[in-house]
Every structure is written in C-alpha cells, then in structure tokens.
Chains A and B, each alone.
Chain A
C-alpha cells in the first residue's frame, strides 16, 4: 500500500503584501509633525492575492525574475514579514536560511558563535553541545573554530554558518539564494546535506535563480511573476516556461514583463524563436556580422529533455538552418560554446573537424551538430554559430545565437565531465 502524505504544513491563502517605499524618510519628529497625514511614501505591491499549499516532505522551488515576489513570500512564511491581507499558516519547526551568518558576532570565537547562532535558531545549549562536533566537522574549520570570527575568510564564515543552520534539524527549511555562495565542492556538500534532510521528510523551500539546481532537487516548482503565482507544477515544465519568458524579456527590453501566457503547450514552440538574440537586434548590437551570401535563419538546440535543455552526458543536437542567397564554394559551419560569464568552453567547425569542404547553391538547408554525450556540467551556456569562407571571412557570424540550460543529477564540479571510471584495488 502506498501511503500518500497530504498533510499541509504551509498554507498561504489569498495573501497580499505591499511595501512602503519611502521617497524621503519621515522618521524624525519634525518631519512626522510637518508632514503628518501626507506621508511621503508610495506603495509597492510585492504580492497580489497569492495562494499556495505545501505538503509535508515536499521540496518546492520558487523561481522568478528579481522583484517577482518570491523572497517576500519566503519571508512571510518565516514570519519575518506579516501579510497585509490573507493568512499564512505554518506548522512545525522552521529554520530559515535567508542570509548565512546573520547574528554572528565578529569578536567571539567560532565556537562561541555556534552557541549564539544556534540559540537564534531556537536550539538549547544542550542540543548544541550534542551537535557541536558534527557542526565543527561539517564546517571543516579545524582549529580555527577557536579564533574570533573576525579573522575568518568569507568562505570560512559561510561554511560555519551553513553548518549551524542545517544542524537545527528543522521540520521546514526555507532557503534564499544561499546555494549560490561558496566554492563548488562546498555547494555540493550543502546539496547533499539538504538531500539527507529531505530523506527525513523535511519540507524544503528554495528560492533561487539556479534553475539547474531546482530541476535536480525539487519535486514541484512555483513560478512567481509580477507579484503573482504564474505557474506551478513539474519542475521541467515551469522552468522551460520561465526561461522562455526570461529570454524573451531580455530581447524585448524592459516592458516585456507584461508578457502573458495561459497554457504550456505553446511554450516549447516559443522557446525556439525566443531562446536567443533576435537576428535583427543581434546586428544592431554588434553580435552579428558577415557578407550575407549565406544567412543563418535559426538555431535550434534539442535533446530528449526538451528544447534548449539537456542533461549532462545525454545526446544533444544543435541544428543550424540557413538560406543561401548566392552560391558559394568552400565554406564551413562552426559552433562555439561559452558559459554565462563568457568563458570559452568549446569551439569547432567542419573544417577543423576535417569534413569535406561544403559548397552551397542558392536555396536553404540545415546542418546539425550532433553530440552523443554532451559533457558540459550544469549551468547556462551561450552558443555562437557561424558560416565562414576558406579565408575565415564570415558569411554570417552570430554571437549569442541561442542559450542552453544543462542540468545534471551528479554533483561533480568543474567545466566538463571527463569520461572516466574508478578502479579500486587493495593490496593485502
């Protein structure tokens, strides 16, 4: 018999929240008296009639662009903020990691801070004492635990803070963007600890921009947009729709936030055209140049995971569709892949790969770059594509033609996965 746990541990019902944005702060007495009744602030709507239930043991990802209300929602759940209308009902011991190391005192040693921080998170001294070794162990601080926190590097500071926060053994854990800090190895360690907590039926809610992490980790995703829940459901569906909108927005400029879509079926269709820079804009932005004899019409990335999305180690196709205005001889097609922060990961073209030279006559066609096991690790990547002549003169060079998201179910670190196996032998 399968037990389905449907106990709701968090109920958010019709919650709205406005912030007062003080144009000028009236917080001195003079101003309060002088401007009484006409306070100089305007309301900023952070949440508009949001409802959301979270079941015990669920891992929920909150995604959305900056200012969409996801962090506000998290702060309401952790009772740091109160709603203007509606109700937020949370049952169970909550540990919120809204900022690592809030409440650390620089003058005290790491050990003393563990006690103080643990008390802030609602632990008794005895509970902390029982967990002290585990906490110090996890933080990898060693003897530094007896030094004042003032002397810590930011990495050490962060490691200690996370170690305390996960030691709380919460029933509900709320995390805001903290997975983005620290080196990759410690991040992987944090994720593993979160997995352990999840296995113990801990309810986990994560706010992050790292869609790859959400994809790997969460059972359900809520996409916040414009102070509302725009979409909720399976991670892959929500993330695809979300990415599509984000890319469209970055192409259309600031007013693209009003972009509306009602169902998901058209999403994957849209991704194709939205997923990169638009051709005409690319030329304006200096991201595209060439003779124009051959023009690239579109670049489509597909894998079994969907368009623009691939799992590390799975096959991937990058298809370049092109039109030929005027017949050309001896051309090559190439691709280049960059990380979001512009690190060149890989580049090649048909000439470098020693394929026969390509001659094109007027018309149109497509060429596909097929990788049997795409080995870049999880993250966002840009793809440049080009069609060039033998003298490297570009017919059409398109920087940032499209973007792909890579996700992975293994937390290995670095840029790409080296094909490998482990062999253990023990000498007696």
Chain B
C-alpha cells in the first residue's frame, strides 16, 4: 500500500493533467464555455428558490439556502460516482497502451467533481451573505467535512470503477440507485420531519452524515454533531480501504477486459 502511495505521488502531474482536461472538455465547444461551471449552480438555485418559496410556499426559513447547501454536497458525490463507474472502460485505450497507476482514473474524476464543488462556492458564499449568514468559527469545519466526503467518494469510486470493468450493468443500474439514495439523504427535507427512530436509521447513511454536517455548520451555524462526524469519518475510511483493496485486486486484468 505504501509503495503504491509513493507511486501515485510520482504521478501527481498526470492526475492534475487528467483533472484539468476533464474539466476543460466538459464545456468545450459550448458558447459560454467554462462559465457554465458557475451558471449551472446559479440556475439550479434560481429554479429551486422559485419553486419552493413562490409556488410551494415552504415554511422553513431560507429553505432555498438549506437545500442548496445539501445539493452541492450531493452533486459532488453523485457526479463523481456516476462518472467514475465507467471511467476505466471509457479510457480503455489508455489502459491498454500505457502504464500508469490505474487509480489515477477514478481519482481524476472525483478530483474534477471536487474542483467543481469549490467553484460553486463562488455562488454559495454570496448567497449565504444575501440570506444574512456571515462567516463564523463553525465555517472552519467545512474543509474537514469536505475531506470526509472526498474519502467516502474516492472509496466508492475505486470500488465501482473496478467492478464495472467486469460487470458493465453497474453503470446503468447506478442512475436509478443514486436517485433512490438521493431521497434517502436529507438534502431537500430535514430529518426533523421523520420520527426519531427512522431519523436515527437515516443517519447510518454516510452521505446523510456529510449533508447533515454541512447543514449544521453553514445553515444552523453550529459545530457538526461529533458522534455523527466521527461515525462518518470511520465509515468513509473503511469504504476507502475496502474499495482500494478491491481495486488493486481487480486492476491486474483491466488491460485484458476493457
């Protein structure tokens, strides 16, 4: 494991270059180009604000903000997972022709999602100000929560990307599975609407921990619930270790199977 980490470090240039080309190809050819990175979350925000505060009249204060905080975190996870599942197959020509640590491929996809998340903060932070939220000491938790989410996402990305090489269905099942997962995660609703027992069950879902922690720090202006926070980190690390272990096992026949 240590040797592989050293090797991954050696290939950091490649990782960075893959992330950049991933980001740059995404909007290449469109008129507004890279601006879409900001326009997309902005439009999403406007649509939800309009629907929930004008049409559906949700009573929760600053509901659009509440939901936007969770949605950005969810998007990081969902786009990272969805796109990394098929990344080994998609980049088959590289896998068959060039040696590099294969972990680079799912890592670059998740890296791209993380950078997109960071860029969308350009929209989120002003929106916080507009709603009367100003930086507090609790904001310092944000990088830690983000790190937890990255660990979990990378772990799952490693797991799914290596499995998909042998089991192509995963790519197609994943869409519907992620939709279910989305509704089981308190992004557009608060856990307070559920009975305490069920809410407790929902917290077993690591993505709930991520989203709840973001909401604590940014929306409720509290520190994250420490039990939840530690549990989230614990399970994320376990997923990462398992995902990576599986990846290193399956990685040997990638060049033959893609």
Contact = CB atoms under 8 A, between A and B. Distances in A.
Interface of A: 19-20, 27-30, 32, 75, 78-82, 94, 96, 98-99, 102-103, 105, 107-108, 115-116, 119-125
B100 A120 contact: yes
Contact of A120 (B14, B25, B168): B14
Contact of B94 (A81, A82, A96, A103): A103
Given A80-B99, A96-B99, A103-B98, A20 B13 contact: no
Contact of B98 (A20, A27, A98, A115): A98
Given A80-B99, A103-B94, A116-B21, A122 B28 contact: no
| Residue among A96, A103, A115 facing the most chain B CB atoms (10 A cut-off) | A103
Given A27-B167, A108-B21, A116-B21, A124 B13 contact: yes
B256 A81 contact: yes
3 residue pairs, one from A and one from B, having the closest CB atoms: A102-B97, A119-B17, A29-B169
Contacts of B94: 102-103, 120
Contacts of B173: 29
A323 B109 CA distance: 75
10 contacts: A27-B166, A94-B99, A96-B98, A98-B97, A103-B98, A107-B29, A116-B21, A119-B16, A121-B98, A122-B100
Contacts of B256: 19-20, 81
B252 to A, nearest CB: 4
Given A28-B169, A75-B255, A107-B28, A119 B98 contact: no
The A contact surface, by secondary structure, is loop
A46 to B, nearest CB: 10
Contacts of A94: 99
A122 B252 contact: no
B90 interface: no
A120 B166 CA distance: 25
B93 interface: yes
A23 B256 CA distance: 14
B167 A123 contact: no
A123 B13 contact: yes
Contact of A32 (B18, B25, B100, B167): B167
Interface string B1-23: 00000000011011011100100
Contact of A81 (B11, B13, B14, B255): B255
Contacts of A108: 21, 24
Contacts of A119: 13-14, 16-18
